[in-house]
Amino acid sequence: MTQKIIPNIWCNRTAEQAGDFYAEAFRGAGFQAQSTVSARYPSEGLPDFQRDFAGEALVVDVTVEDTQIALVNAGPEFSPNPSISFMVNFDPMMFAGDAAEARRRLDGLWEALAADGFVMMPLGEYPFAAHYGWVQDRFGVSWQLMLTRPEGDPRPFIIPALMFDGPAQNRAADAAARYVTLFAHVPGGAAVGLQSPYGQAMGDATPEALAFGEFRIGEQWFMASDNGSGTDHGFSCGVSLQVNCTDQAEIDALWEGLSAVPEAEQCGWLADEFGVSWQIVPANMEELMGREDSYAKLMAMKKIVIADF
């Protein structure tokens, strides 16, 4: 799978530990997974609020099968919450149609992720799935594990799931349509997938709000649903979506189309009209950060300007 958008998880000085935890959890369930430090803080020249991070890991990349998730090693400013979770699809077709094997793998991953975590929806049978559970792990990251029906359309193993509540309540369908329009230019295009409304009021969700929705950007799928629990979480920098852009023109177009909160603009980060945090960065960011004084130059930017490196 070609991955245009990489989910980033904000960690409070725990990125390396979290990366090892996720790699071990997925490997224990029989999947290929690894954790690698891909970037470190400079050893000198850091601003005062980051001075204690000198030489430490800055980004830890976790790869599970063909999906990459980045862990940002930082301070206590933000933390993940259930507004963006990760749906893990255990499709029996991944295991030669063996539903029992799919369920066994799911149970193994659930046991690992739930250890010292918080169970939001117990593992069990639900109207929408024969075997499903939602857990917040020890690092605060939310995972939804589901045994899918083999007759359904195939989907990636891991899908970022956006849950709209608070000021963005009942706007999941609007967001999906907006993102599909903004990313129509990517190879493979973009499209809205299945959308299933609640049909009746649920918590703060109206009957027309989405109990389940999905959209595709290139080869990647995302879920978009409205929160029917009545509990607001709200999007934050705790989980952001990093877009690897081909050139400055793409950076400019996405920045103009997404950024809606001027005070959130910093170092390539922005917040859109729904509150979702994005990082709009050049695909060759690693090479750019290897240049002289690159970190100081990045810290002075809002939108990233490649030529300024």
Arithmetic mean of pLDDT, 137-154: 93
Q: Is the pLDDT score of 64 beyond 90? A: yes
Q: Is the pLDDT score of 296 beyond 80? A: yes
Residue 277 lies in a domain: no
- In a 3-state reduction of DSSP, which class is residue 35? strand
Q: Is the pLDDT score of 7 beyond 90? A: yes
Task: Centre a 10 Å sphere on the Cβ of residue 128 and count the other Cβ atoms it contains.
Answer: 11
Residue 163 lies in a domain: yes
- Residue that the structure tokens 């950007």 belong to: 217
Q: Lowest-pLDDT range, 105-109, 254-258, 292-296?
A: 292-296
Q: How far apart are CA 233 and CA 223, in angstroms?
A: 17
Residue 196 lies in a domain: yes
Q: Which two tokens stand for residue 214?
A: 């999905």
Q: Which two tokens stand for residue 53?
A: 């991070």
Residue 212 lies in a domain: yes
Residue 65 lies in a domain: no
Q: How many domains would you assign to the chain? A: 1
Residue 114 lies in a domain: yes
The residue type of 213 is G
Average pLDDT, rounded, for the chain: 96
- Residue that the structure tokens 């793409």 belong to: 250
Share of the chain above pLDDT 70, in %: 100
Share of the chain above pLDDT 90, in %: 96
Residue 194's domain comprises: 84-226
Task: Centre a 10 Å sphere on the Cβ of residue 174 and count the other Cβ atoms it contains.
Answer: 15
Arithmetic mean of pLDDT, 49-71: 96
Q: Is the pLDDT score of 77 beyond 90? A: yes
Arithmetic mean of pLDDT, 192-199: 96
Q: How far apart are CA 150 and CA 93, in angstroms?
A: 6
Closest CA to 224 of 266, 201, 250, 190: 190
Q: How far apart are CA 190 and CA 303, in angstroms?
A: 24
Model confidence band, residue 113 (pLDDT cutoffs 50, 70, 90): very high
210 DSSP β-pair partners: 197
Q: How far is CA 181 from CA 32, 47, 175, 176, 226, in A?
A: 34, 38, 10, 9, 20
Are 139 and 85 spatial neighbours (Cβ–Cβ below 8 Å)? Answer: no
What is the per-residue pLDDT for 153?
84
What is the per-residue pLDDT for 116?
97
Model confidence band, residue 210 (pLDDT cutoffs 50, 70, 90): very high
Residue 294 lies in a domain: no
164 DSSP β-pair partners: 226
What is the per-residue pLDDT for 278?
98
Count the helices and strands in the chain (H runs, E runs).
Answer: 6, 15
* Maximum separation of any 2 CA atoms in the chain, in Å: 58
Q: Is the pLDDT score of 118 beyond 90? A: yes
Model confidence band, residue 234 (pLDDT cutoffs 50, 70, 90): very high
Residue 119 lies in a domain: yes
Q: Is the pLDDT score of 152 beyond 80? A: no
CATH number of the CATH domain containing 201: 3.30.720.110
